[in-house]
Amino acid sequence: MSIVANDLADMATRAESEIAAAADEAALDALRVRYVGRREGEITKALKTLPSLPAAERPAFGAAANAARERIESALERRGGELRASALERDIAGAAADLTLPPRRVRVGRYHPISRTIREITRIFAGMGFEAVEGPEVEWDYYNFEALNIPPGHPARDKFSTLWVNAEGSMEVALAATGTGGRAVAEPSRRQPMLLRTHTSPMQIRVMEQRRPPVRVVVPGRCYRFEATDATHESVFFQYEGLAIDEQLSMADLKGVLYSFARQIFGSERKVRFRPDYFPFTEPSAEIAFDCFVCDGSGTTNAGRCATCGGSGWIEAAGCGMVHPEALRRVGYDPSQVQGFAFGGGVERLAMLLTGTPDIRLFHQNDLRYLESV
């Protein structure tokens, strides 16, 4: 090997130790420029002397220069890898050690007050033997009205401001799906309109069509009415329906079940009012109410007439009564063998009482500041 070639090898050795000692990426870059930079790098400068060498020495010199460049470049690459790895470790170690950073907020999900109330309602009725079931929100006129003794033109229809659905195309399919297990049941007329159910009472009929007594169900679910909203009314709201059919049920059982429910959900404080009412599908019928928690039943607050109960001092909680014999006959039950009671109430009314919410609209505005506070 010529002396010049030896010089190149020495230079590569020197470069290797400098590179191995480079403290950071900037120092490494400076060494890269100095040794293998394309214009002023040591290797480039050495190669520029090539033409002045004797022809016999040129191949060996060229080979030595290339070998030196390869050693330097692989040293650069190795050190570059080391520096990146330790920078990463430093970052990780630094982050783990910085206990002063505020933690990320963990948002834990929770039940909406309406869902909570439904769960509470179904839990209490489960304790009295009622199974929770659900039914369709888009309903036939037949189940929502006709089978409940509310034929077209009946004045009770005025109470239920109904949202109608134009479902011409889907009618036949849906009718075919309302199977009744071969029992004698009035067929819904094929020209029936559909609607958004105005109450959960259609499920009284649907459940009785599908089951034989004894029946005990509670049916929570969404209902719809075409109505202006105020502190206690929404056009989309929830009801819970109860239905019990057996051989020996009376009005006393109905009263006992609803009193027990009121006490379990509100404690013994709340006053309960039970008085006659009218529904086409129950006979006799009654209405149950609780005293208003805002004005404590007085009907007035400091601001004047109580907005929550409308000044009456009472919040109507549910309609109820003994299932009408006509409804029993319609589903193939024999009213001389079985009787039963039904009740239906607003879930939001109970949720308002339970959470002290003065306005039903607060439940549906999806304002987390409110929903997380109750």
Supply the DSSP string of 107-125, one letter for each residue. ------HHHHHHHHHHHHH
346: helix, strand or coil:
strand
Q: State the nearest-atom distance from the C-beta of 363 to ligand PHE, in Å.
A: 18
Least Å distance, CB 372 to ligand PHE, is 31
How near is the Cβ of 253 to ligand PHE at its closest, in Å?
Answer: 14
CB of 103 to ligand PHE, least distance (A): 48
| Closer residue to ligand PHE (CB): 57 or 137 | 137
Complex with ligand PHE: residue 205 or 306, whichever CB lies closer: 205
Instruction: For the beta carbon of residue 22, count every other beta carbon within 10 angstroms.
Output: 20
CA distances from 244 to 145, 263, 290, 340 (A): 20, 20, 23, 5
Q: By C-beta, is 46 or 323 nearer to ligand PHE?
A: 323
Asked whether the beta carbons of 178 and 141 are under 8 A apart, the reply is no
In whole angstroms, the minimum distance from the beta carbon of 369 to ligand PHE comes to 32
Residue number, 22 or 322, with CB nearest to ligand PHE: 322
Question: For ligand PHE, which is the closer residue by CB, 135 or 344?
Answer: 344
Angle at 224 between CA 287 and CA 138, to 5 degrees: 115
Q: At what angle do helices 113-127 and 251-266 cross, to 10 degrees?
A: 130
Question: Both tokens of residue 27?
Answer: 């120092």
Dihedral pair phi/psi, residue 268, rounded to 5°: -85, -10
Helix (H) / strand (E) containing 220: strand 215-224
Please report how close the Cβ of residue 261 comes to ligand PHE at its closest, in angstroms.
Answer: 14
Between 43 and 320, whose beta carbon lies closer to ligand PHE? 320
Query: Nearest approach, Cβ of 262 to ligand PHE (angstroms)?
Result: 16
Please report where in the chains the tokens 């229809």 appear, as a residue: 157
By Cβ distance, which residue is nearest to ligand PHE? 344
**Is the CB of 313 or the CB of 321 nearer to ligand PHE?**
321
Distance of CA 47 to the CA centre of its chain: 73
**Under the rule (CB under 6 A), what is the footprint of ligand PHE?**
199, 201, 279, 282, 319-321, 342-344
Token representation of residue 233: 């009314």
